Amino acid sequence: MNLLFSIDDRFYQQLLTTLYSIKLNSSLDGEEINVYVIANGHFHYSAQLAAGCRRLGMHYHEVPIPDTAFQNAPVTDRYPLTIYYRLLAHLYLPQELHRILYLDADILCINDLRPLYSTDLNGYLYASAIHTNLTNATEVINKIRLQNFDADGYYNSGVLLMNLDEIRSHVRPNDIFNYIRSHVLLLPDQDVLNALYGHHIKSVPDELYNFDVRNLRIYETISMGVDTLDWVMKNTVLLHYCGRQKPWLENVNHGKFTALYKNYFQMAKKFLLA
């Protein structure tokens, strides 16, 4: 299993928490787990991540991005270099990799990750989830804004299963750079993903693989009362702590999901420091 992350110095402990939760809850059966972390020259925690991965029985690989990597890319305060990392990771990952799962570092795995990782990607560049809403108004607005009417909806890029062979053939830096130069974007990398490649993404259910912890009541309502907290704990694989109010911050409370994250965060620190 190949896992991909892109973090800065603020998130290395959160990344180790994500990895700990994957180790604890997935049926890996001795499978080799390779953890690839995209980092620029300003990342200072490679040694700590490597040690944490060894403790978890995983293999750490730093993916260095040279300072000259995106010298032709439009870069501003709004569009920093980091927006290109997950979209163009295939340029810097080993050629022998065929599949990799990108995860944001504000995610917990609470059930088996293997079914998502094994998703059939034949004919697709990616697999991703569209976040559930009570109405489709946001979806319609995004389709008009991005002019991607063939896509099923607006995909969240925090969980992105990548078909690297297809991506290497179809995802080109200049297409991305030109799109950014000619459009005003709200969520730069996510907007580009949806606008250019939305019709090449396989949809997976967000209630299983990208559950927005802020929206438990919305999931319950849309599912006619099926997706309760008990259902989530038994069935959901990836909890995504979206938004600015992160569960590791003081005085942030998303109810039971925040308590669950804090528990994993503490367990991971104890395990990795033991």
Contact (CB, 8 A) for 89 and 4:
yes
pLDDT of residue 144: 47
Residue at token pair 């250019």: 196
User: Domain spans of the chain?
Assistant: 2-273
Q: pLDDT tens track of the chain, all 274 residues?
A: 999 999 888 889 999 999 999 999 998 888 899 999 998 767 889 999 999 999 999 999 999 887 777 777 877 776 677 778 889 999 999 999 999 999 999 999 999 999 999 999 999 999 999 987 644 545 545 544 545 545 557 899 999 999 999 999 999 999 998 988 888 777 778 889 999 999 999 999 999 999 999 988 888 888 888 889 999 999 999 999 998 889 998 887 767 899 999 999 999 999 987 6
What CATH code would you report for 2-273? 3.90.550.10
CA separation (Å) from 155 to 124, 186, 193? 14, 14, 8
Q: What span, in angstroms and rounded, lies between the C-alpha atoms of 253 and 116?
A: 29
pLDDT of residue 13: 94
pLDDT of residue 112: 97
Contact (CB, 8 A) for 155 and 83:
no
CA separation (Å) from 137 to 9, 150, 190, 196, 254? 37, 16, 18, 21, 25
Coil vs helix vs strand at 107: strand
